[in-house]
Amino acid sequence: MSRNPFNPSWGTRPPVLAGRQEILQAVFEDLAAGPGHANYHHVFYGPRGVGKTVLLTEIAEHVHREWEWAVVDYSGTPEYGPRQALAEAAPALLRQLGGRRASAQGLPRRVEAAAPVPGRPLRASVELPGVDASQFLPLLQRLAELAQKRGAGLLFVVDEVQRARAQPDLELLGNTVQQLERRRGLPVSMAMAGLHNTPRHLARACTFFERQDKVQVTDLGPDATRVAYLEPLATGGIAIDTEALELLVARSQGYPFAIQLYGHRAWERVGEGGRLTLAEAMIAVEDADRWLAVNLYEPRWDRLDTTERAMVKAIAALGGTMVATRDIATAVGRTPSQLSVARHALLNEHHVVHTPRYGHLAFDLPGFDRWLAQTQDLGSLRLPPPRRPPRSGPSP
């Protein structure tokens, strides 16, 4: 089977890291500056598919591989918090940082014994279910101190941070790291990533997060997009005609997930050592567009109610990239306040749009406007008049 140059498991950089070198360089310089540095912690936010998780992975792998840092991975969910993540990671990290002897010390454990049965031995189990709030700081401190003795540090990685509970989970994590890093000078850093509402979500957790620098991860520019295609293709020995490259660049619109998908389809068309012509690129793009329609666009459309559908059709009809909320309201025959509930759902529940500027909306998914234009009637936008509540007559 031919190897796919767009597969990060090759050991080469995935194309979604093209154009991110400045971000990575700044992160590594900040971490090298040590505890107390103004930007010792990092928060990335933006729509799905722009490469935030890949950024976190690159940062974590670099500090672990090159600097021998300890890393705790936590993907935010309401049911699974940083306490559980630390408890699961602690035994291996203690062995990594302090050897076998350190791994046997300081771990909070719960011992449960079954009722004795005549003729049978006492059955006991030792579990590490997840440290409680009072144990979280001492355990994280122990790991950080061991890392500091080795000239290393500890990185707490949080993906999908918008799904984690602001309180008590993120509050506990933020306050604990502040205590260890800012007040005790221990090398404990956080790298987080989430959707557009991440800055507001973190601000609700604790004031420490308000002071952290937030980096918005956006789509790639045309030059970075070209590099994202050319480097992996060159790795596979694939030549590409200029017209084919420009088609891929234009259709992917700098959206890293689309770049990876279009590149994968192009690789499948020609194989290692081949040449990608404009004709082959057009077929690859059509294949990728069908995949996007079935797996991204149609499911999102199906989840929308009537008002939400009217809004996204209006956004597509009005350009799709920077559309004023008042213009959307005018197009569908409503006032902006009458669309506030639908707007909130599109932003925070369906993740179809984001706010590139105050009072404006834009699609999260590049190409969604093109799909809407192909499948929906964008000339019919107005909603029926809202129903008025019945008049209350005089009391009998």
Residue 276 maps to which CATH number?
1.10.8
| Domain harbouring 98, CATH code | 3.40.50.300
In this prediction, the residues of the chain whose per-residue pLDDT falls under 70 are 1-16, 99-131, 388-396
Same domain, yes or no, for 180 and 309? no
Q: Are residues 157 and 53 in the same domain?
A: yes
Quick one: 163 and 277 in the same domain?
A: no
**Domain count of the fold of the chain:** 3
Residues 41 and 131 grouped into a single domain: yes
Which pLDDT score, from 0 to 100, does residue 102 have? 53
| Residue after which a domain boundary falls, among 193, 216, 239 | 216
Residue that is last in its domain, among 299, 315, 341: 299
Instruction: Using alpha carbons, list the distances in angstroms from residue 355 to 51, 220, 304, 343, 364.
Output: 19, 18, 18, 10, 9
- What pLDDT score does 391 carry? 65
Q: Do residues 318 and 357 share a domain? A: yes
Q: Are residues 180 and 209 in the same domain?
A: yes
Please state whether the predicted TM-score (pTM) of the whole model is above 0.85: no
Are 257 and 161 part of one and the same domain?
no
Residue 14 included in any domain: no
**Phi first, then psi: what are they for 316, rounded to 5°?**
-65, -45
- Say if residue 24 is in the same domain as residue 156: yes
* Within a domain: 118: no
- For residues 192 and 267, membership in a common domain is answered with no
Looking up residue 340, the CATH number of its domain turns out to be 1.10.10
Give residue 112's pLDDT.
37
Does 326 map to a domain? yes
Query: Residue 293: its pLDDT value, please?
Result: 95
CA distance 351 to 331: 22
Instruction: Look at residue 382 and tell me if it is in a domain.
Output: no
SS3 108: coil
Torsion of CA 298, 304, 310, 315, to 10 degrees: -60
Same domain, 137 and 77: yes
Residue 3 domain flag: no
Any domain includes 284: yes
Q: Judge whether 335 lies within some domain.
A: yes
Q: Can you give the three-state secondary structure of 249-317, one letter per residue?
A: HHHHCCCHHHHHHHHHHHHHHHCCCCEECHHHHHHHHHHHHHHHHHHHHHHHHHCCCHHHHHHHHHHHH
Asked which of 184, 200, 216 is the last residue of a domain, the reply is 216
Residues 194, 86, single domain; the answer is yes
What residue numbers bound the domain in which 336 lies?
A: 303-375
Q: Is residue 9, in this structure, part of any structural domain at all?
A: no
Task: Measure the CA–CA gap between 386 and 135, rounded to whole angstroms.
Answer: 55
- Within 8 A by CB and 6+ apart from 387, the residues are none
CB contact at 8 A, 82 and 171 = no
Q: Are residues 289 and 325 in the same domain?
A: no
